[in-house]
Amino acid sequence: MRSNVIETVLGAVVLVVAAFFLYFAYTTANVRAVSGYALQARFASTGGLTAGSDVRISGVKVGSVTKAYLDPKTYQAVIEMQIDSQVKLPEDTSAGIASESLLGGKFLNLQPGGEEEMLKPGGRIQYTQSAVNLEDLLGRFIFSAGGNNANKGGDASQQGQPAPQGQQPAGQQPAGQQPKADPSKGLLNGGGK
């Protein structure tokens, strides 16, 4: 009977500690929904931005993405967001989709402009920049780097075939001979040897 009481008390302590850590994580991670006014932005590609993602200005969370859907007429991604009512944004504010790290985690980054007119609730951010697709960039880099040396002409020794007997491949001297100096090159350029 006594062991049942101890197990019950320990179980209650574990539940209280778990609830405390959950509350602490919720308040410090700033994941709660932001109440405020609604705005909209359109992008060619969202790159994985979804409802619940942060909206930030200078790295500080000022809102949340509430909805992401496809416009069937223009085939653009429409992002709807809630912005904190204390944050007023100029009409020339720009929006871009950024990554938190290389492993993922997208957020909407806002860059306020200099206009005196402010965006009204339900307004639209006109200036947008779609997400950069890391896979596409890597693919372009790999294929462009591999294409520089492919299919280039040259003498037989550069293509993996032996040079005919009696001929030396271009740029190589026979064994035991030094290259001749070019008198048109000065002493500093190796011409004085």
- Per the domain annotation, does 166 fall within a domain? no
Domain C-terminal end among 103, 121, 140: 140
Q: What pLDDT is attached to residue 162?
A: 54
Domain C-terminal end among 140, 169, 188: 140
Q: Provide the domain count of the chain.
A: 2
Do 96 and 49 have their domain in common? Answer: yes
Token pair 């000022």 in the structure block, residue:
62
Is residue 35 over pLDDT 60?
Answer: yes
- Per the domain annotation, does 190 fall within a domain? no
Token pair 């179980």 in the structure block, residue:
11
Do 21 and 97 have their domain in common? Answer: no
Give the range of the structural domain holding residue 18, as residue numbers without chain letter. Answer: 1-31
Is residue 190 over pLDDT 60?
Answer: no
Q: How confident is the model at residue 188 (pLDDT cuts 50, 70, 90)?
A: low
How far apart are alpha carbons 123 and 91 in whole angstroms? Answer: 9
- The most confident of the ranges 7-21, 31-45, 90-104, 138-152 is 7-21
3-state secondary structure (DSSP) of residue 176:
coil
Do 132 and 63 have their domain in common? Answer: yes
CB 55 within 8 A of CB 62: yes
Do 27 and 40 have their domain in common? Answer: no
Average pLDDT over residues 146-160: 51
The per-residue pLDDT for range 49-100, each reduced to its tens digit, is 888 889 999 989 999 999 999 999 999 999 999 999 899 999 999 999 888 8
Q: How confident is the model at residue 172 (pLDDT cuts 50, 70, 90)?
A: low
Is residue 167 over pLDDT 70?
Answer: no
Q: Which two tokens stand for residue 162?
A: 């032996």
- Per the domain annotation, does 94 fall within a domain? yes
The pTM of the full predicted model, rounded to 2 decimals, is: 0.55
